[in-house]
Amino acid sequence: MSFSFEILKTQGRARAGIFHTPHGPIATPVFAPVGTQATVKAVTPRQLEEVGASLVLSNTYHLHLRPGEALVRDMGGLHQFMAWPGPMLTDSGGFQVFSLAKINRIDDEGVTFRSHIDGSVHRFTPEVSMQIQENLGADIIMAFDQCPLPTDRTIVEAAVARTSAWAARCRAAHPDDSRQALFGINQGGIFEDLRARAAHDLLPHDFPGYAIGGLAVGETKQAMYETLDFTIPMLPADKPRYLMGVGVPDDLAQSILRGVDIFDCVMPTRIARHGAAFTPHGTMNMKNLAHARDERPVDETCDCYCCTTFTRAYVRHLVKAGEILGHTLLSVHNIRFLIRHVEAMRRAILEGTLDEYVEPFLQRYLQLA
């Protein structure tokens, strides 16, 4: 089989495994940088390889609007188009349709919306999302879903019913997982019975992986963790579990403890563009005057190009001057920080020492976060 998942070791609910794909194996748990428009902002594919990235995400909504999935297909697909040799994942476009676009109409068949770029009218259905993602050519593709705010039960209940119906249509449009693995998405907000209903509807389709959507979009951290506590046991133990859009260090630690295998988030590059860096002691604002003459690296524990080459003083200068290199160096560091963090947890699972890693990490990180 082109896709398979093996679990090497567990500790509590946490798992260390390997997800095999046509473009190479993904050691899990794994953090995937987000390349929304077929590029991780301010970072080259070579730099992504150097920091140890093994999976990159791109976005169906944005690439459909520009340059168009037909062009990407004709240029050899996403891997060739953006010169990324490793595994890739595309989301369904559902989150962006609901969060970015000016929605004209949502119905049981799909969503009609206006582009946030030029106001042009577009229509996404489950079948259209599948066709776009097949043209883009990522290894992992996502079922089309409705992502509601997680705390409004009436809206969430309707979204679960619609997402379940759309998942069945996505599966019918994409019955063969040999070239692209179609993951189903569990919605349900913070409501246990709705998450259970969503899982019940998804499991008969035997997706090769299952995502948890609709979290980290407004609920408290504790509500997210509690939702993971009751949702993860509802999903198949022999399939990878993907928590969508989560990527701050403490959330990664808490979610891995609960059994999540795959993560993605724009956070490391987004905060870099605002002059911030992840460190073991919380997020550091590089604009602070305290760094103006500081000869230390951004993070003395980090092995990335930024931290092994440049001082805090220089990085602060770049940030204050608005230089693009500052965005690149902090993005490289932040992505490497998250990858090292997740790799350390994976090693700890394999060695049976996960608690010994996570507890002091959280104590340090949350002290100043």
Minimum mean pLDDT range among 98-102, 173-177, 340-344: 98-102
Q: Please check whether residue 113 is in contact with residue 61, taking contact to mean a CB–CB distance below 8 angstroms.
A: no
pLDDT of residue 226: 98
CATH of the domain at 200: 3.20.20.105
Contacts of 352 (CB under 8 A, 6+ apart): 9, 11
Verify that 285 and 325 share a domain, yes or no: yes
What Rg, from alpha-carbon coordinates, does the chain have? 20
Task: Tally Cβ neighbours within 10 Å of residue 40.
Answer: 27
Q: Is residue 142 situated within a structural domain?
A: yes
What's the rounded mean pLDDT across residues 226-236?
Answer: 98
Report CA-CA distances (Å) from 366 to 27, 99, 249, 288: 27, 29, 10, 20
Catalytic residues: 91, 264
More confident site: 217 or 344: 344
Verify that 290 and 249 share a domain, yes or no: no
Verify that 119 and 74 share a domain, yes or no: yes
Q: Is residue 5 situated within a structural domain?
A: no
- pTM, rounded to two decimals: 0.97
- Identify the band that residue 37 occupies on the pLDDT scale cut at 50, 70 and 90: very high
* Interval 81-138: pLDDT, tens: 999 999 999 999 888 887 776 777 889 999 999 898 999 999 999 999 999 999 999 9
* Interval 190-214: pLDDT, tens: 999 999 999 999 999 999 999 999 9
Dist. CA 276–CA 308, nearest whole Å: 18
The secondary structure of 300-361 as a DSSP string is TT--SHHHHH--HHHHHHHHHHT-HHHHHHHHHHHHHHHHHHHHHHHHHHHHT-HHHHHHHH
What's the rounded mean pLDDT across residues 339-363?
Answer: 98
Q: Please check whether residue 242 is in contact with residue 183, taking contact to mean a CB–CB distance below 8 angstroms.
A: yes
Range of the domain at 208: 16-265
Count of residues for the chain? Answer: 369
What is the overall mean pLDDT for the chain?
Answer: 96
Q: Is residue 70 situated within a structural domain?
A: yes
pLDDT of residue 148: 82
Q: Is residue 22 situated within a structural domain?
A: yes
pLDDT of residue 36: 95
Beta bridge partners of residue 241, listed in sequence order: 210
Q: Is residue 211 situated within a structural domain?
A: yes
Verify that 277 and 343 share a domain, yes or no: yes
Cis peptide before 29 (omega within 30 of 0): yes
pLDDT of residue 139: 98
Verify that 320 and 238 share a domain, yes or no: no
Beta bridge partners of residue 285, listed in sequence order: 276
pLDDT of residue 94: 86
Q: Is 231 helix (H, G, I), strand (E, B) or coil?
A: helix
**pLDDT tops 90 at residue 178:** yes
Verify that 147 and 282 share a domain, yes or no: no
Verify that 95 and 177 share a domain, yes or no: yes
Percent of the chain with pLDDT over 70: 99
Verify that 280 and 228 share a domain, yes or no: no
**pLDDT tops 60 at residue 368:** no
Q: 165-177 as b/e, with b when 16 or more CB fall inside 10 Å?
A: ebbbbbbebbeeb
The β-bridge relationship of strands 102-106 and 111-114 is: antiparallel
Provide the token pair at 211.
């995502």
- Identify the band that residue 1 occupies on the pLDDT scale cut at 50, 70 and 90: low
By C-alpha distance, which of 306, 260, 267 is closest to 34? 267
* Interval 19-35: pLDDT, tens: 999 999 999 999 999 99
* Interval 218-230: pLDDT, tens: 899 999 999 999 9
Verify that 252 and 315 share a domain, yes or no: no
- End residue of a domain, out of 248, 265, 282: 265
Residue 222 class from Cβ within 10 Å (0-12 exposed, 13-18 middle, 19+ buried)?
Answer: exposed
